[in-house]
Amino acid sequence: MIKKHPKTRFAIVENEFGEMPVDGDLINHSGAPIYELSDGCICCSLIRDLCQALQSITEIKSRIDHLLIETTGIADPMSVVDLFITNDSVKNDFLINSVICLADATNIVQVLDTEMEARKQVALADMVIMNKIDQITSVNATMVKNTLVGLNPMAEIIETTYAQTNGTPLLTTKAYSGDHVEKTTLSFNNINLSLEKISQNHSMLHTHSKHRHDIHAEGFLFDECSDEELFNIWMSSFLYFNQNRLYRVKGILNFPKKKKRYVFQAVKGSYICEEGREWEKDEARFSKIVFIGKYLDRKELEESLLKLFLKNKTPRTA
């Protein structure tokens, strides 16, 4: 990536699991400042060290365009993302772009079946680079991709060989912006119906299938949300009590008497709700929320959400 962006000034936080750093030595010739965190997990015991590294980077900020953080294949990136969303000093100095997961297509399905942290990494990713597709058949590639989609249907999946993304922008995704959250929420499950038809159809859009893994997504489509303050209270409480099993939430909210839609996103126990674009006069207004997490109980979610939404008392599967 550094070679492909010669004019971009990078800083790199490289995490090593073990007593002898290796990766840092491999990339040290790049000329970018590298901050190594070794013998631990960047996402748990070394968060304090990560904060210190970020503080050091801010001191040379005028010479840095982009920060790359590598968390190792056994790490849970949730705490890192949460740091960039909730820590005021970090938010003031850094704008989170995206979480990118590199998956080995030759063994990722087996790894996902046995390793919880791998499933979390896919579930939290905004982009999954499905590498080594030249080493598997087209049938197996389809199976691998379907498995990844089952864990995270809103992530962009890129099939690669030697991790060559062939022009796909990695540094300008802006996956945590309101526009991107709205786009991925709308695309959830590839609904091939106009919003007008959806609004008229009060039945489920598809039947449930058995999930292969404990992590999956549940989506809901309503007409409007009862009250902004009530929603914020409910969501804060729900995230707090379910932060260990709820990984990502994205949504578009239609509040009565509000001219603009509200775009919502959450990671772990933290969430952001911001104004989006105005609803068009002839546009069918709606609310849509997608949850990605572990052992999600659709009935439980539905019963809670029904208390927040008005006109349509039967949520459709999004």
Task: Please state the φ and ψ torsions of residue 267, each to the nearest 5 degrees.
Answer: -135, 125
CA distance 292 to 246: 6
Residue with tokens 């303050």: 229
- Residues in Cβ contact with 115 at an 8 Å cutoff, skipping those fewer than 6 apart: 74
In angstroms, the Cα distances linking 283 to 186, 188, 195, 196, 259 are: 14, 19, 8, 8, 12
> Using an 8 Å Cβ cutoff, are 263 and 273 in contact?
yes
Span 88-105, average pLDDT = 93
Name the DSSP letter for residue 309.
B
Residue 232, pLDDT above cutoff 80 = yes
In angstroms, the Cα distances linking 292 to 83, 93, 288 are: 19, 28, 14
Task: Please state the φ and ψ torsions of residue 234, each to the nearest 5 degrees.
Answer: -65, -45
CB atoms within 10 A of CB 273: 16
CA distance 286 to 8: 41
CATH architecture of 10-159: 3-Layer(aba) Sandwich (3.40)
pLDDT in tens, 243-287: 889 999 999 999 988 999 999 999 988 889 999 999 999 999 999
> Using an 8 Å Cβ cutoff, are 155 and 249 in contact?
no
CA distance 170 to 300: 37
Is the pTM above the cut of 0.75? yes
Which candidate, 95, 96, 154, 160, places its Cα nearest to that of 122? 154
Q: Per-residue confidence at 33, pLDDT binned at 50, 70, 90?
A: low
Task: Please state the φ and ψ torsions of residue 309, each to the nearest 5 degrees.
Answer: -115, 150
Span 144-148, average pLDDT = 95
Q: Per-residue confidence at 210, pLDDT binned at 50, 70, 90?
A: low
CA distance 22 to 17: 10
Q: Where in the chain is the domain with CATH 3.30.1220.10?
A: 178-317
CA distance 218 to 297: 9
Residue with tokens 């597709």: 133
Residue 318, pLDDT above cutoff 70 = no
Predicted confidence at residue 101, as pLDDT, reads 95
Check residues 153 and 64 and name the one with the higher pLDDT. 153
Which candidate, 119, 100, 120, 110, places its Cα nearest to that of 163? 100
Q: Per-residue confidence at 310, pLDDT binned at 50, 70, 90?
A: low
> Using an 8 Å Cβ cutoff, are 242 and 211 in contact?
no
Sequence letter at residue 240 = Y
Beta bridge partners of 246: 293
Fold classification of 178-317 (topology level): Hypothetical Protein Yjia; Chain: A;domain 2 (3.30.1220)
How big, in percent rounded to 5, are the helix, strand and coil portions of the chain?
A: 35, 25, 40
Q: Where in the chain is the domain with CATH 3.40.50.300?
A: 10-159
Of the listed ranges 67-71, 85-89, 224-228, 283-287, the least confidently predicted one is 224-228
CA distance 210 to 273: 32
Predicted confidence at residue 194, as pLDDT, reads 29
